[in-house]
Amino acid sequence: MLFAEALTSALREEMERNPKLILLGEDIGRSGGVFRITVGLQARFGAERVVDTPVAEAGIVGSAVGLCLSGLQPVCELQFDAFSYPALNQILTHVSRYRWRTQGKAPMPMVIRIPCGGGVRAPELHSDSPEAYFCHTPGLTVVSPSTPADAKGLLTSALRSPDPVVFFEPKKLYRHLRGEVPDGEHLVPFGKVRTAREGSDVTLIAWGAMMEIALAAAEALATEGVSSHVCDVRTLSPLDEEGLLQAARVTGRVVIIQESPRNCSVASELAALLAEHAMYDLKAPIKRVSGFDVPHPYYSIEHHQRPDCARVVDAVHRILEA
Amino acid sequence: MLFAEALTSALREEMERNPKLILLGEDIGRSGGVFRITVGLQARFGAERVVDTPVAEAGIVGSAVGLCLSGLQPVCELQFDAFSYPALNQILTHVSRYRWRTQGKAPMPMVIRIPCGGGVRAPELHSDSPEAYFCHTPGLTVVSPSTPADAKGLLTSALRSPDPVVFFEPKKLYRHLRGEVPDGEHLVPFGKVRTAREGSDVTLIAWGAMMEIALAAAEALATEGVSSHVCDVRTLSPLDEEGLLQAARVTGRVVIIQESPRNCSVASELAALLAEHAMYDLKAPIKRVSGFDVPHPYYSIEHHQRPDCARVVDAVHRILEA
Amino acid sequence: MKPGNADPADASLPEGVDEALALELYRQMVFLRIFDERALVYHRHGRIGTWAISWGHEAIQVGAMLALKASDWAFPSYRENKLGLVRGMSPAHVLAGCRGHPQGWWDPHQWRLGAISIPVASHVPHAAGFAWGERLQGRDTVALSFFGDGATSQGEFHEGANMAGVMNAPLILLCTNNQWAISTPVHRQTRARTLADKAAGYGMLGVRVDGNDVLAVYQAVSQAAARARAGEGPTFIECLIYRAQAHAFPDDPSAYRDDTEAEQARREECVGRYANLLMRRGLLTEELAARYREEFLAKMADAIAEAEALPIPGPELAFAHAYERKTPALERDLSELQRIQAKQGTR
Amino acid sequence: MKPGNADPADASLPEGVDEALALELYRQMVFLRIFDERALVYHRHGRIGTWAISWGHEAIQVGAMLALKASDWAFPSYRENKLGLVRGMSPAHVLAGCRGHPQGWWDPHQWRLGAISIPVASHVPHAAGFAWGERLQGRDTVALSFFGDGATSQGEFHEGANMAGVMNAPLILLCTNNQWAISTPVHRQTRARTLADKAAGYGMLGVRVDGNDVLAVYQAVSQAAARARAGEGPTFIECLIYRAQAHAFPDDPSAYRDDTEAEQARREECVGRYANLLMRRGLLTEELAARYREEFLAKMADAIAEAEALPIPGPELAFAHAYERKTPALERDLSELQRIQAKQGTR
Amino acid sequence: AASNGAGASSKVLATPLTRRMAREHGLNLAEIAGSGSQGRVTKADVVAALEGRTTSNVVSQAPAVQV
Ligand SMILES: Cc1ncc(C[n+]2csc(CCOP(=O)(O)OP(=O)(O)O)c2C)c(N)n1
Ligand SMILES: Cc1ncc(C[n+]2csc(CCOP(=O)(O)OP(=O)(O)O)c2C)c(N)n1
Ligand SMILES: [Mg+2]
Ligand SMILES: [Mg+2]
Ligand SMILES: [Mg+2]
């Protein structure tokens, strides 16, 4: 099943199961969304449950807050990564705080789906990886799948979460990644890393579209006799701290791979976590292979910005030497 | 001079010097701002250079982009930390990228002043420490002073910076911290940490209002015979990496203190930086004494959230034992 | 239109307002007024924090709330932090909030009141979404969002209002135009002739009422609610008054405006004006008015004592409710903090 | 009003439009039209990326730009990414941008054109601030912001428009109501009767013109510019057309609308309509029209070749210009990257 | 590759600094008694181990002449 199809099937099955789910976003109805993730859903569930909204992200997320208060469970699609920014005020001040502000009485069981990442030859502001803004915000659960099975399983969990979930969908994977997806109901719990490959020399930690790079690097390293342990973070916030510490301890050498800029990012948090809690298990400096602290470049030169296999392999060489 | 007065004097002197500076924000004119930082400036420079705006943060920052294009140098005051969030879209998509997008031809020499932090018995959303959102955004310079001298010197540098500067003013210091400020023109360069105290056993890294806590902890530790090296980060982004690495190397044991939530924060970045580049100089795990990953609490219980001397001392004890 | 500058010529009650209701409107206005006056005193004593006074806004707050059904929801801003009183919330509860005490929270479902929205206008989309959601679920609930003249400048007011129009949400946008946003006069807030002029941009009815006239507010909201329930969509109501007091305490209006207009507004304030009307109609006596005052003054004295008696909670509460279940990291952080605080023995 | 459904009864030219200008309007429209048609072909060849077509928007883009002085500024959205052509920018330059090549950037000061704004409506406050800044500095510059019907739903449109009103900024808000925002029809975008109805909410003049009529657009913008220069503040102009094409390529409108209206719109498109008018007036011949086409087709062929010949830059450019001076960390990152790429030898 | 990888010392607690010192001097961390909390091998333990072993081949690894 395609990654995109896995997402669609999670939405479809949960909407069948749970009449409180309502989808809203720009162009998700008749057109099925610019990435075709909601295709067929309006025809199936009607225009009252799959709602085309005005071009107004704060309006979308803000009215989702109200929809939650009315007892519904809204699923917002924000069209591209950078178009989540107009909704940040709602997300930071209300979505993430309403449960807390009402001591649990008014939870916000909403999902905010955001296609993310580069490598798709897109115009400016269509290739950001903004997860850190959300991870820095207490009250949100931030998730990103890297396989079709996880796309379905994590999205299903998101759709059943009592807390607001920001769900990052690497747009590069939508129609390029195909994989097995278990039949029927499939839930992947939040807060559990996935071991994508076992190994003993170095631990590669990644998520989303960067898992492809991590696994390719692991392959390349294997040909040199270096054995990589590859860990998929999956839940970017709150982190599976135990799982991550264990993954680091397996080898004592860690490379973290991410697409976003580096400063105050998820990779920063992962490195900090290890520096606080796994220091005595580490054999070498931690390495971050990350997007640089520059805006995501024009697409003809975005390959310089996006971590690739060569950069990961180089980082591994350096910490093996270290 | 009071911390607040140091800021006012920087604004006043630079406005005298540079006719292109224009201040805009909510209630900064007649009333002099809710924190009285712009007091007297409208009377001195007129209502065209000290402009009361509508209650519209995206409008303020967005029109500042246009003011830059017209050749002016706007200084925006956003009234409280959390009221910077409505302006995030402008800051993330335009303020930080315009220079880059135009290959240097249309720089954004603006300053965005944001009163920040808790400990002032304020209502909800008046006590946030949102610096990480800005530090994660390439193209911005993010600064926070911790003394009146730095308040003046760093703000003066900000007002002369060719790049957009987000300037965090710890509101707890405004009228509680008094200190010497050099007479006349006083510039503190960006990208240079300040050694606030020399020591040999442990390095405490902090900034803004948390410097008070760091220094108090250093005093307390001194009575036990523990010698603290205290480093004021000052420029939160781009970091003075060399200065920070040196400060860490002085003692090999590091405690980072910050008020904001921890996940993907400046403290995360600092810890990651050390874990990447000073790993072999560290004698113990890094410790972060940070706000927890919860919304800033109601003010009667905010002391649980804000790092205090006891927590810092405890952290130092733990890494000295380690 | 100028707010509050004339008593209505006759003292007849509008449709739907019987004498009991007329008096209840007054009683609630007095409650809010006394709350405000006492809260200001408590603030000056240092017994509560920032006080967002709404002295002079009683006609709007009470008129609007009483025009709604008990099943309808209101979405307050900071200025309406005491709106719960009108629905039976205890004043101690509200005062606890003013003391920065966690007991100041409320359950929106219990009171059918959104949480106080501190960022100006950011709750307008909530009200829009809520109203839309109620309609989707076949309920006849109406939502009313309070906000100020300054709030109309915010993008989120715009997005919420526009969305409500498109979704035909049963929403009332109740704008308190008190002519000031802290120090900014409304003519520096917008160049629109009236704020109600904004309604056409959302394809909704815009009306303007004298916000010092509780009966006018009651009537406008009743009509808007009826339209909303009839599926005719949202209404924008501009209630014109003049902010007779400071923005909040602390705030010093003398820095930015001269007091003549405020002075005038204080003379024409809504509670006294309505009392006059009721007295002329023979519905209210000086005695009854005094009785109300006594009653509420006593309530307030008890309430502040009760609020002050609340113990300051330990750290558990700071860690609770961010998520349905505390994360392992928060569990660890909390127990660390408890260990340190125990060692210190200072908390 | 329906857009473009009738030729004006007489073919007289409006005030301020002489014959040379009338022809120049046509010539530029043909340029944009041909650019669009060729770009679509290049897109289908895979020679350029996403193509935000503005086929049918030529009357608006050219009419507005030619009504401005050379010293005035325009602020384009993605839909006006080829606006520079009207000011002499080379088509290769624009095509480079469509190829994701860094040479697609421009210097706003050189062209007096803001950078393309990708987030819908986010440049409206820029235009407002710019216009205000120009006025503050005593220049008589006017700013014009292009945006679509969908953009009027955004908070930043609202904040920019309101701010421009308050600051009395010499700004023209030029809204291209092509009745679609990707798949969303304008009646699901707002409940306002017309988009021009929004103007009153900002205290500005709102006008509505047939966006298929280049002379009408020219005239409306000229008048708005004159008002702005006279210190009378901003104007909102709604140009009504119908988006005859897909939103962009790729995008498949058949998923969300039936083609009849689009078909009709394609028949009534603005370039042919204006050609007819000019021919009736004897200003244009088939021959001249053909000559223009030839000229621009040749230009385009050269342009794509030129754009394709641009070498793909190394990483330096990705690291440049985020700050005035590269930070030490960026220096280090760049040299690391160069070391790795050199080792790989694959870049 | 990974000659210093998941060897015998992988269960030993030590900072990267301590590990590197041991590695550079050819010491097996697992053979050094740790004096730190939870048996952690400290830098001091490594220094002590080095001093207690002056006749070993360690000397030859050090530069003969300090320059
Ligand atoms: C987004 C945001 N920006 C700024 C503030 C600070 N602030 C609090 S009240 C206020 C003025 C609001 O005026 P108005 O909407 O007229 O309401 P009023 O205070 O008159 O009731 C401002 C600017 C805020 N609360 N939220
Ligand atoms: C803030 C933001 N949200 C979403 C998008 C994605 N998007 C691109 S164009 C478009 C439709 C805009 O419609 P309109 O304003 O009518 O302009 P048109 O495309 O018709 O020219 C959308 C939603 C965007 N670019 N920016
Ligand atoms: Mg906004
Ligand atoms: Mg007001
Ligand atoms: Mg459109």
* pLDDT tens profile C97-113: 999 999 999 999 999 99
Q: Are residues C261 and C319 in the same domain?
A: no
Give dist(CA B178, CA B29) in Å, integer: 25
- Looking at the structure of chain C, the number of domains it has is 2
Q: Are residues A102 and A240 in the same domain?
A: no
How many A from CA of C197 to the centre of ligand 3?
22
Residues facing residue D207 across a β-bridge:
D237
CB contact B59 to C (< 8 Å): yes
Residue C151: closest CA among C122, C126, C172: C122
Report percent pLDDT > 90 for chain B. Answer: 99
**Residue in this structure with the two tokens 């025009």, named with its chain if needed:** C67
pLDDT at position C11, please?
Answer: 60
ω before A170 within 30° of 0 (cis)?
no
- Smallest Cβ–Cβ distance between A288 and the set B86, B272, B295 belongs to B272
Helix axes D19-45 and D270-280, enclosed angle (nearest 10):
150
Give dist(CA C123, CA A63) in Å, integer: 9
Kindly compute the dihedral angle of the four CA atoms of residues C153, C155, C156, C158, in this order, to the nearest 10 degrees. Answer: 80
Of the CA atoms within 13 Å of residue A7, those in its CB half-sphere come to 29
Give dist(CA C186, CA C208) in Å, integer: 15
Give dist(CA D254, CA D242) in Å, integer: 15
pLDDT at position C3, please?
Answer: 60
Task: Decide if D191 and C197 are in contact by the 8 Å CB cutoff.
Answer: no
Nearest CA in chain B to E36: B322
**Which ligand 1 atom is at minimum distance from the Cα of C182?**
11
The DSSP-derived string for C216-259 is HHHHHHHHHHHHHHTT---EEEEEE----S-SSBS--GGGTS-T
pLDDT at position E7, please?
Answer: 40
Query: Is residue C138 over pLDDT 60?
Result: yes
Question: Is residue A178 in some structural domain?
Answer: no
- Smallest Cβ–Cβ distance between B88 and the set A85, A125, A270 belongs to A85
**Pairing of β C180-181 and β C184-185:** antiparallel
Q: How confident is the model at residue B322 (pLDDT cuts 50, 70, 90)?
A: confident
Give dist(CA A207, CA A233) in Å, integer: 5
Cα distances (angstroms) measured from residue B50 to each of B77, B85, C255: 11, 23, 15
Question: Is residue A187 in some structural domain?
Answer: no
Residue A302: closest CA among D81, D338, D312: D312
Question: Is residue D221 in some structural domain?
Answer: yes
Q: Which of residues 213-232 of C touch B (CB under 8 A)?
A: none
pLDDT at position D15, please?
Answer: 87
Q: Among C301-310, D8-17, E44-53, which is the least confidently predicted range?
A: D8-17
Residue B3 in tokens: 């911390």
Q: Are residues B127 and B248 in the same domain?
A: no
Q: How far is B143 from chain D (nearest CA, A)?
A: 15
Q: Are residues B12 and B90 in the same domain?
A: yes
Residue D283 in tokens: 């200003």
Question: Residue A257 carries which DSSP code?
Answer: E
Residues B250, B251, B252, B256: is their CA dihedral positive or negative? Answer: negative
Q: Are residues C239 and C303 in the same domain?
A: yes
* Atom 19 (ligand 1) nearest CA: C181
Q: Are residues C341 and C260 in the same domain?
A: no
pLDDT at position E6, please?
Answer: 38
Give dist(CA B194, CA B124) in Å, integer: 32
Q: What is the CATH number of the domain that holds C163?
A: 3.40.50.970
Query: Residue C49 in 3-state DSSP?
Result: coil
Query: Is residue E58 over pLDDT 90?
Result: no
- Domain stops at, among A124, A139, A173: A173
Q: How confident is the model at residue C5 (pLDDT cuts 50, 70, 90)?
A: very low
- Looking at the structure of chain B, the number of domains it has is 2
Question: Is residue B180 in some structural domain?
Answer: no
Question: Which of C179, C188, C310 would you mutate first to test chain B, the one with the most B CBs within 10 A?
Answer: C188
pLDDT at position E37, please?
Answer: 81
Over range B263-275, report the average pLDDT. 98
Kindly report, residue by residue over D226-247, the tens digit of the pLDDT: 999 999 999 999 999 999 999 9
Q: What is the CATH number of the domain that holds B300?
A: 3.40.50.920
Task: Decide if A241 and C329 are in contact by the 8 Å CB cutoff.
Answer: yes
Question: Is residue B94 in some structural domain?
Answer: yes
Helix axes A309-321 and A210-223, enclosed angle (nearest 10):
50
Give dist(CA C75, CA A84) in Å, integer: 25
Q: Are residues B162 and B209 in the same domain?
A: no
Kindly report, residue by residue over C61-74, the tens digit of the pLDDT: 999 999 999 999 99
pLDDT at position A251, please?
Answer: 97
Q: How remote is the C-alpha of D260 from its chain's centroid? A: 26
Q: Are residues B143 and B226 in the same domain?
A: no
pLDDT at position E36, please?
Answer: 85
Question: Is residue B188 in some structural domain?
Answer: no
Q: Are residues C177 and C298 in the same domain?
A: yes
Whether residue C243 lies in the annotated active site: yes
**Residue in this structure with the two tokens 């309070």, named with its chain if needed:** C146
Answer whether D62's CB lies under 8 Å from D29's CB: yes
**Residue in this structure with the two tokens 């162009």, named with its chain if needed:** A27
Over range C305-324, report the average pLDDT. 95
Give dist(CA E18, CA E23) in Å, integer: 9
D193: exposed, middle or buried (Cβ count in 10 Å: 0-12, 13-18, 19+): exposed
Q: What is the CATH number of the domain that holds A137?
A: 3.40.50.970
Q: Are residues D324 and D229 in the same domain?
A: no
Question: Is residue C11 in some structural domain?
Answer: no
Report percent pLDDT > 70 for chain C. Answer: 96
pLDDT at position C311, please?
Answer: 96
Q: Are residues B33 and B161 in the same domain?
A: yes
Question: Is residue D2 in some structural domain?
Answer: no
pLDDT at position C125, please?
Answer: 98
Single pTM value for the model: 0.97
Question: Is residue D276 in some structural domain?
Answer: yes
Buried b (16+ CB within 10 A) or exposed e, C269-304: bbbebbbebbeeeebbeeebbeebeeebeebbeebb
* Atom 21 (ligand 1) nearest CA: C148
Q: How confident is the model at residue E59 (pLDDT cuts 50, 70, 90)?
A: very low
CB contact D190 to A (< 8 Å): yes
Residue C235: closest CA among C247, C244, C226, C248: C226
Residue D271: closest CA among D100, D70, D60, D16: D60
pLDDT at position E1, please?
Answer: 38
Task: Decide if A101 and B124 are in contact by the 8 Å CB cutoff.
Answer: yes
Residue B187 in tokens: 């510039």
Q: Which of residues 237-276 of B touch E (CB under 8 A)?
A: 252
Kindly report, residue by residue over D70-120, the tens digit of the pLDDT: 999 999 999 999 999 999 999 999 999 999 999 999 999 999 999 999 999
Q: How confident is the model at residue C10 (pLDDT cuts 50, 70, 90)?
A: low
Q: Are residues C151 and C175 in the same domain?
A: yes
Question: Is residue A180 in some structural domain?
Answer: no
Residue D113 in tokens: 């054109």
**Residue in this structure with the two tokens 């702005």, named with its chain if needed:** D228
Q: Are residues C203 and C335 in the same domain?
A: no
Question: Is residue A102 in some structural domain?
Answer: yes
Q: Are residues D217 and D326 in the same domain?
A: no
Question: Which of D317, D324, D326, D330 would you mutate first to test chain A, the one with the most A CBs within 10 A?
Answer: D317
Which is catalytic among the residues D243, D273, D274, D292?
D243
The DSSP-derived string for E10-33 is GGS---HHHHHHHHHTT--GGGSP
Query: Residue C147 in 3-state DSSP?
Result: strand
Q: Are residues D299 and D338 in the same domain?
A: no
Give dist(CA B8, CA B159) in Å, integer: 12
Query: Is residue E61 over pLDDT 80?
Result: no
- Smallest Cβ–Cβ distance between A252 and the set E1, E10, E40 belongs to E10
Q: Are residues A152 and A273 in the same domain?
A: no
Q: Are residues D27 and D59 in the same domain?
A: yes
Give dist(CA D156, CA D124) in Å, integer: 7
Give dist(CA D195, CA C203) in Å, integer: 10
Whether residue D45 lies in the annotated active site: no
**Residue in this structure with the two tokens 């002099």, named with its chain if needed:** B32
Nearest CA in chain E to B278: E17
Question: Is residue C339 in some structural domain?
Answer: yes
Q: Are residues D55 and D99 in the same domain?
A: yes
Site to probe by mutation for ligand 1, drawn from C58, C61, C182 as the one with most ligand atoms within 8 Å of Cβ, is: C182
Answer whether B309's CB lies under 8 Å from B284's CB: no
Q: Are residues B220 and B119 in the same domain?
A: no
Residue A69 in tokens: 């208060």
Q: Are residues A135 and A213 in the same domain?
A: no
Angle CA(B288)–CA(B289)–CA(B294) in degrees, nearest 5? Answer: 105
Beta-carbon neighbours within 5 Å of ion ligand 4: C 148-149, 178, 181
Query: What is the residue-level pLDDT of chain A in tens, covering all 322 positions?
Result: 999 999 999 999 999 999 999 999 999 999 999 999 999 999 999 999 999 999 999 999 999 999 999 999 999 999 999 999 999 999 999 999 999 999 999 999 999 999 999 999 999 999 999 999 999 999 999 999 999 999 999 999 999 999 999 999 999 999 999 999 999 999 999 999 999 999 999 999 999 999 999 999 999 999 999 999 999 999 999 999 999 999 999 999 999 999 999 999 999 999 999 999 999 999 999 999 999 999 999 999 999 999 999 999 999 999 998 7
Q: Are residues B218 and B110 in the same domain?
A: no
Average pLDDT, chain D: 95
Give dist(CA D23, CA D8) in Å, integer: 17
Q: Are residues B308 and B246 in the same domain?
A: yes
Which residue range forms the structural domain that includes residue B255? 194-321
Over range D168-183, report the average pLDDT. 98
Cα distances (angstroms) measured from residue B213 to each of A234, B204, B217, B312, D328: 36, 10, 6, 8, 30
Over range D138-164, report the average pLDDT. 98
- Radius of gyration over alpha carbons of chain E, in Å? 12
C146: left (phi over 0), alpha (psi -120 to 50) or beta: beta
Q: Are residues A25 and A57 in the same domain?
A: yes
Average pLDDT, chain B: 98
Kindly report, residue by residue over E8-41, the tens digit of the pLDDT: 345 789 999 999 999 889 999 999 989 888 888 9
Residue B261: closest CA among C221, A100, D125, C343: A100
Backbone phi, then psi, for B76, in 5-degree steps?
-95, 135
Which residue range forms the structural domain that includes residue C320? 314-346
Residue A7: closest CA among A37, A49, A50, A45: A37
Report percent pLDDT > 90 for chain D. Answer: 94
Question: Is residue A72 in some structural domain?
Answer: yes
pLDDT at position C345, please?
Answer: 77
Give yes or no for residue C97 CB within 6 A of ligand 1.
Answer: no
**Residue in this structure with the two tokens 């130092």, named with its chain if needed:** B316
Q: Are residues D239 and D330 in the same domain?
A: no
Which residues have a Cβ under 8 Å from the Cβ of A37 and sit 6 or more positions away?
A4, A7, A8, A11, A28, A77, A113, A169, A174
Kindly report, residue by residue over D289-310, the tens digit of the pLDDT: 999 999 999 999 999 999 999 9
Q: Which of residues 136-155 of B touch D (CB under 8 A)?
A: 138-139, 141
Give dist(CA A1, CA A7) in Å, integer: 10
Task: Select the more confidently predicted residue: D16 or B272.
Answer: B272
Q: Among B21-30, B181-190, D2-11, D75-84, which is the least confidently predicted range?
A: D2-11
